[in-house]
Structure 1
């Protein structure tokens, strides 16, 4: 037999199948990881993607597999098919596509099963009684207290880690034949918290109607439900249906910070094991959760974007909660989207796909209207609760009245009332740090990062200036390095300064802050969630992390402090993102009783703000889609962004010019399908000492033309210049 192997080298020159002979008595199956000889290298890892009885090559020219790396198939047949889809869809190598299916630490054997030496009691009944008698004096008192204590503990537990017992006592009992030492596998568990099982909730008539429509046999659904409408209960019932049919389920959430809350909900309702997949796990935890699924112990997978690749077999449903979030698109090349991967996995398994959101992506809702998804609407909150009233505060008037803080008079009054009532508030500002930039008022000098073409943010708690792109820090200066005058001033504000202002206004309030600066430690998000849910704090201040799916029963006030920071981003999605953020943070308030939302803005009449005030998604969609059709923006067209970066600007510019020349030759016969081509500096020209340029191609929707650009991109390489490609990029800058 011959094995068809993809070597674990992501390079276009070796992006093909290699054949290897399978030695006699070596059990090799498709999906197994193997070690193989390759080229001038001594050996390398590979994945077996198929078996053949014959080969087109001469037998003496075919090398043998050295050994299997596991005694099980690391990949399923479906995952191998999925990798082929990724290779075609994102024009990448098959090796790169296969890597998505495996924990990174598995490759190269950097992590494995964790074992522990344990002490196991061997005896019982009369035999154990004789050993116990040997530990006593004639008068019945204990002669060997350490052995007696160890034996007593083992009688209670049966087996314990050797590290928890007295070593000399264990050795003595082992000589007596009372115990044995064994090596046992132990699991590294991400969530240790004990969860109490609860009964099912009664379903509303709307929930019953939605479930009936899903059970009727459809395959793709867009669950458009307002915040607090009971979408999670739909997810749970659909997953339970799948498990009852012997199938498995994946539930995706957009943020790592949401996994503890969602895991708790699931554990309260399911007896089955739940595996958790996200980048915040340690290498060992990630491996153990992956193995839990491989061994069939877990039938439900919960996680962020990467969980879409979980090695579940017989998949019944994939649910993408908060489907509008940009975090579902990969940051690194190839820039896949969880939606596309989920859609293909559901096709391969004849499974159900559910996208859920109070504010669906414009493109998703557009496809729903065209019939690609069945739109299921849940327009009302549970228990007869109304969506919170949204009060718009015009910050221009605040400025006229002499208020230069980020807390308007209206927000101050509501915070005071909320605290007096013993309730909680959430304040949203999409900027971390204390001040957003430092400038000299004499000469206009602005402190920038030495490695990136961006201003540095002041962090008062550490008294440092920090670059939010490369992490470089500086000590703040008191005089301007350009003109020598002591006129450096801090401008703008971030979450740290908001925290300081709120503390000054409400010194008795207990405040938590959630941003990248406070969430750096492992499990920090779990502790914050538990503390705020237990009402150990009155006010939660945060960036966009706090807008996504949190459900706190005592939150009756939420506020968007500066809607304009999102509205004025130079991106065609800025209105959409503003509407989504306002609606989502508004949705955190009034989940169990009436709530209030304060929206502070300098642009109160903008259509995104006005539609958000009335929680009117359909009204916003209709206005936004009309504008996009008029301007020929997605979903009526496609953007292809080609990225070029390098340490020497002249080399990057030369690469851009060369690629433009090649691009014109490819696109010239299809000029009717091209709206525009523009080459320019990136909005942030330098990051991490790399000069950045891009080519932005605006096309009429034409997958064939996009494929030709992909092909040209893969065929073109430059010395000392890194390149990347992105379709409809999340960040247009």
Structure 2
């Protein structure tokens, strides 16, 4: 077939599961507009769908009758840079996902376009007769256009009731429907005021107002008008603020500073001293958060060595820059090394992305960076409002912010001239996305650093075994911070064998040693963190008469009792139901809600309140931080020492820095050790070491108390001795015997369905097919299974 050359074409990726591109013709009126990385509308499976142009081509093998036109370009400038197109293409190949799905996840929901159907009146129409139809027309006459949902709300009817009436009016030629693709959020605008005269004239006017003049002198620019003395002083203050700031200020900000009404500013506008205009208002997620300015401090010798190595890479002209693993104990000053490296990057006109593992850490980390770098910092995470995410993303894209801080999704930030990538707490499993498209932010960051030719810095007190293994083998350069800053001591770690507590008759959740330690801290007005990596009140609820356990109807796990809501909750599918006064199986009333065989943070909270009634106690977990900014408010209260005892899950283990915390208590250290996961020991060591590191971070000496039923496990003893290297050697030896990562790669195929037999049969069919492939083409690959997943049923589907 002859190639078609008389038109221009584009290959478009759609967010579908099939990994292929679709070729469309570019109409002449869009030929000079459409660029790779732009979003377009094109007919796909019979309706207009949004896709991304990934490349322009001059010819195609497709026949002319099979090629459709792109109908509309949705962007003025490319949403995806060449670098992000290349990055998402690599993700598509490496993670076996479609390019369209990879592109889709690289843009926040607030920036993505949404399909909306608007209704508006035709320019000419015959007025309808029906009562409801007249109401619809009356509403549309007062509004230019409305979505169907907006119109339904105005009329006080449901969407289902409104839809057929709109269809009728459309058939009669009264209304028309317009399909629009717009972002979920849009720019917000506000009124701003700025000086309208030269500064010399403004200073003259301020002097006249301040000297008590009763009015303005006659001049071409200053019409005569009598002004009361109090108002004159306010006018002078407004002009002085605008003169000092040298930039436009919002009316809201100006009236707040001066404590004046907007009418005073309007008066100055009428007299020609200021002008008022509309400007985009940036919704700042940190506007209400106090930020203390910080200055760089002199690095200690180990920090200086690490900084010099990073600086050497930043200055290198090599096309391929080596990555770094910054292994520093908790409190060793890794963040200061990051910030001094970032300062060098900014001096050279480049940008930085800093990834943090938890959304709860983002505001605290951002505060430190804003204290050093001001408004050059932007946040990107899912707890922001749609408007905040929209504004932050566009600030980054326009180059107005050159430091981006956020969790794993921030790796796709549209920064200009990326010069450095930092992943703090790089060991965290929260960098791995377990929803499609599945990716690991550390691997994506490695690829993005290659595409941008910039260094990647991984930082952790407990590096993942894979990262440390690669550092030992030279893939990364290992940088060490073995001591805390200012030579502060690592906290003393005390192991409590809970088996001995049981022998002594102590059946409570706190050992005598931990109780006494908490009492001492309260008496000394020092703070305590209690850690338990399990939400809720009790792990499961059971009948002591027949042994019946309350289970989720959709999943193969027990329900967790939540004391505050008095509900049973599944932490996997979210199913909730009220508690039963009696056993559903035997009708007995001996129901155990108090977690003797398992308990959560709510149980710990209740026990603390009962034992220390005068203490100020706060729980910090997924249940207490559902509201916007709840993380931030709790941490700020803890920093102000309004909380004596903070009880939390793994959210308290990462990156938090509070100088008055002198005690960390690990209520149960064994919750993850016996999970069916080859990383169980690594994750437990990391979690315990990280939470232990929250103690004694200032002059106050720190102590960590770990309650465990496995005091001799090498993971627990390594935590006690602050011995990462010892733990690494033991763990990597066991991994080598079993050929687990880092000595191999493990890929999991998960099949799920509503019929258990179908899922089992399909898994065996897949296994048989893979074994055939292995024998013929991949003899070095080992195939394990099939076997039921650790949670063999979730949300009504077998796995």
TM range (shorter): 0.7 to 0.9
1:451 is displaced (CA, Å) by 2.0
Partner of residue 512 from structure 2, selected from 402, 409, 425: 409
Alignment check: 8 A CA contact 2:194 2:276 kept? no
Q: Equivalent of 1:655, from 762, 765, 774?
A: 762
- When residues 255 and 78 of structure 1 are mapped into structure 2, their CA distance, relative to the original with a 3 A threshold, is same
Q: Which is further off, 508-517 or 66-75?
A: 66-75
C-alpha distance in structure 1 between counterparts of 2:774 and 2:232, whole Å:
83
Conserved? CA contact 2:535–2:621, under 8 Å: yes
In structure 2, distance between residues paired with 1:232 and 1:16: 43
Distance 1:487 1:271 in 2: 60
SS of alignment partner, residue 319 of structure 1: strand
Is 1:445 matched up with 2:451? no
Deviation of the 1:271 alpha carbon: 4.1
Mapped partners of 1:53, 1:252: distance in 2: 40
User: 1:173-188 to 2 correspondence within 5 Å?
Assistant: 182-188=277-283
SS at match of 1:501: helix
Larger Rg computed on CA atoms: 2
Contact 2:23–2:67 at 8 Å: present in 1 too? no
- Deviation (angstroms), 1:331: 1.8
Cα 1:129/1:476, change in 2 over 3 Å: farther
On the 8 A contact 1:116/1:185 being kept in 2, the answer is yes
Change (3 A) 1:280 1:141: closer
Which residue in the other structure is 2:446 paired with? 343
Change (3 A) 1:672 1:501: same
Give yes or no for the alignment of 1:296 onto 2:391.
no
Counterpart of 2:300?
A: 204
Residue in 1 that maps onto 2:680: 574
Residue in structure 2 matched with residue 479 of structure 1 by the alignment: 582
The verdict on how the C-alpha distance between 1:66 and 1:421 changes in structure 2, with shifts beyond 3 A counting, is: same
Give the direction of change, closer, same or farther, for the CA distance of 1:380–1:9 in structure 2 (3 Å limit): closer
Deviation at 1:122, TM superposition (A): 8.0
Pick aligned residue for 1:249 from 346, 352, 377: 352
Q: Provide the residue aligned with 1:363 in structure 2.
A: 466
Does residue 1:9 correspond to 2:15, yes or no? Answer: yes
Instruction: Give the stretch that moved more between structures: 538-547 or 275-284.
Output: 275-284
**Distance between the aligned counterparts of 2:563 and 2:415, measured in 1?**
47
Task: Name the Cα RMSD after superposition.
Answer: 3.0
Q: Distance in 1 between matches of 2:237 and 2:714?
A: 73
Q: For residue 697 of structure 1, what is the aligned residue in structure 2?
A: none
Q: Secondary structure, in 3 states, of the residue corresponding to 2:782?
A: strand
Name 2:558's counterpart in structure 1.
455
Structure 1 residues 665-716: Cα deviation after superposition (integer angstroms, max 9, x where no partner): 3223257424342112222222112222xxxxxxxxxxxxxxxxxxxxxxxx
Gapped runs of 5+ residues in structure 1? 693-733
What does 1:79-90 correspond to in 2, within 5 Å?
A: 79-90=84-95
In the aligned structure 1, how far is the partner of 2:739 from the partner of 2:573?
35
Structure (1 or 2) with the greater strand fraction:
1
Query: Could you tell me how far apart the structure 2 residues matched to 1:211 and 1:147 are?
Result: 55
Structure 1 Cα separation of the partners of residues 46 and 234 of structure 2: 57
The separation in 2 between residues aligned to 1:47 and 1:129, in whole angstroms, is 62
Alignment of 1:99-178 (within 5 A): 99-108=104-113, 109-118=182-191, 120=193, 160-161=250-251
d(CA) in 2 for partners of 1:651, 1:327: 32
Residue segments in structure 2 that go unaligned for 5+ positions in a row? 1-6, 114-181, 206-214, 243-247, 314-320
Q: Distance in 2 between matches of 1:172 and 1:273?
A: 35
Partner of 2:481: 378
Q: 1:255 to 1:470 in 2, by over 3 A?
A: same
Summarize the Cα distance change of 1:73–1:459 in structure 2 as closer, same or farther, 3 Å threshold: same
* Contact 1:128–1:178 (CA under 8 A) maintained in structure 2: no
Whether the 8 Å CA contact 1:32–1:68 is kept in 2: the answer is no
1:677 corresponds in structure 2 to 784
In 1, the alpha carbon distance for the partners of 2:776 and 2:694 equals 52
How far off is 1:50 after superposition? 2.8
Give distance in 1, aligned partners of 2:532 and 2:81.
44
Residues 141 and 596 (structure 1), Cα distance of their counterparts in 2 relative to 1, 3 Å cut: closer
Q: Deviations over 1:457-492 (max 9, x none)?
A: 111112111111122222212211111111111222
Aligned-residue offset at 1:279: 1.5
The match for 1:50 among 52, 55, 64 is 55
The answer to whether residue 426 in structure 2 is matched with residue 323 in structure 1 is yes
* Equivalent pair of 1:392/1:601 in contact (CA under 8 Å): yes
Indicate how the Cα distance of structure 1 residues 271 and 647 shifts in structure 2: closer, same or farther if over 3 A, else same: same
2:76 to 71, 75, 78: 71
Whole-Å separation in 1 of the counterparts to 2:217 and 2:557: 76
| 1:30–1:77 CA contact under 8 A, matched in 2 | no
Q: In structure 1, how many angstroms separate the alpha carbons of the residues matched to 2:375 and 2:659?
A: 27
After superposition, the Cα gap between the structure-2 partners of 1:639 and 1:629, relative to the gap in structure 1 and judged at 3 Å, is same
Deviations 1:234-282 (A, max 9, x none): 1111111212222211111100111111111111222451111112111
Per-residue deviation at 1:561? 1.0
Shift of 1:531: 0.8
1:190 paired with 2:190, answer no
1:610 equivalent to 2:706? Answer no
Q: CA deviation at 1:588?
A: 0.5
Task: Please give the TM-score of this superposition, normalised by the length of structure 2.
Answer: 0.80
- When residues 425 and 268 of structure 1 are mapped into structure 2, their CA distance, relative to the original with a 3 A threshold, is same
Do 1:316 and 1:349's aligned partners in 2 also have CA atoms closer than 8 Å? yes
Kindly provide the CA deviation profile for residues 168-189 of structure 1, in whole angstroms up to 9, marking residues without a partner as x: 9999999998987744211111
Of residues 388, 409, 414 in structure 2, which corresponds to 1:306? 409
**Contact kept? 1:3, 1:48, Cα under 8 Å:** no
1:518 correspondence with 2:624 = yes
Q: Partners in 2 of 1:592 and 1:624 — Cα distance? A: 32
Contact 2:13 2:54 in 1 (8 A): no
Please report how far the alpha carbon of residue 105 of structure 1 lies from its aligned counterpart in structure 2 after TM superposition. 2.9
Q: 1:596 to 1:686 in 2, by over 3 A?
A: same
**Shift in Å, 1:160:** 4.4
Q: Could you tell me whether the CA contact under 8 Å between 1:222 and 1:376 is conserved in 2?
A: yes
Q: Corresponding residue for 1:542?
A: 648
For 2:600 and 2:66, the matched residues in 1 are separated by 65
State how far apart, in whole Å, the 2-side matches of 1:155 and 1:22 are.
55
Distance 1:156 1:135, change over 3 A: farther
Residues 582 and 589 in structure 2, CA contact (< 8 A), matched pair in contact too: yes
> Is the alpha carbon distance of 1:513 and 1:132 closer, same or farther for their aligned partners in structure 2, counting shifts above 3 Å?
farther
Deviations 1:554-587 (A, max 9, x none): 1111111111112121211111111111111110
Q: TM-score, normalised by structure 1?
A: 0.87
CA offset at residue 153 of structure 1? 6.5
Question: Deviation digits for residues 477-525 of structure 1, max 9, x if unmatched?
Answer: 2211111111111222111111111112211111111111101111100
Contact 1:5/1:48, CA 8 A, preserved across alignment: yes
Q: How many residue pairs were aligned?
A: 686
Q: Secondary structure at the match of 1:684?
A: coil
SS of residue in 1 equivalent to 2:672: helix
Secondary structure of 1:236's partner? helix
Q: Distance in 1 between matches of 2:225 and 2:574?
A: 63
Secondary structure, counterpart of 1:575 in structure 2? helix
